[in-house]
Amino acid sequence: MNGELKAKWLEALRSGWYKQGQGRLRDENNQFCCLGVLCDVGGLGTWRMDHGGYSYEVNGCKSSFLLPAQDATIARHTGDLMMLNDGYRLSFKEIADWIEENIEDN
């Protein structure tokens, strides 16, 4: 993935700026999953209030649960990241460590 974006994502995950949540990119309480944090720092789209939370729109394409696949590397790891955040409920700091070890820079 883009090294600059990856660095911003890792910083955001480790910063404490984001409250962690599950099941949505961003919920009505402004809790984010790790992929929602990526959307937020990536700045490719806009957040829109939706039923029970927010959806993220990129070029008119809306996603409530999955990251719009703008990067093939992230697309390959979306399932893993969702499982780490929602299934295993790892902290953002633990997920950041996993990203460093498993997601390569372009």
What pLDDT is recorded for position 14? Answer: 98
How high is the mean pLDDT in each 10-residue block of the chain (106 residues)?
93 98 94 94 87 83 58 86 97 98 92
Count each helix (H run) and each strand (E run) in the chain, helices first.
4, 6
Q: What span, in angstroms and rounded, lies between the C-alpha atoms of 10 and 48?
A: 24
Asked if 41 and 30 count as a contact pair (C-beta separation under 8 A), the reply is no
Task: Please write the tens of the pLDDT for every residue from 76-94.
Answer: 899 999 999 999 999 999 9
What pLDDT is recorded for position 64? Answer: 52
Pairing type for strands 19-20 and 31-32 reads: parallel
In the structure encoding, which two tokens stand for residue 28, read together? Answer: 């009505």
60: three-class secondary structure by DSSP: coil
What pLDDT is recorded for position 67? Answer: 57
Domain ranges of the chain: 3-97
What pLDDT is recorded for position 45? Answer: 84
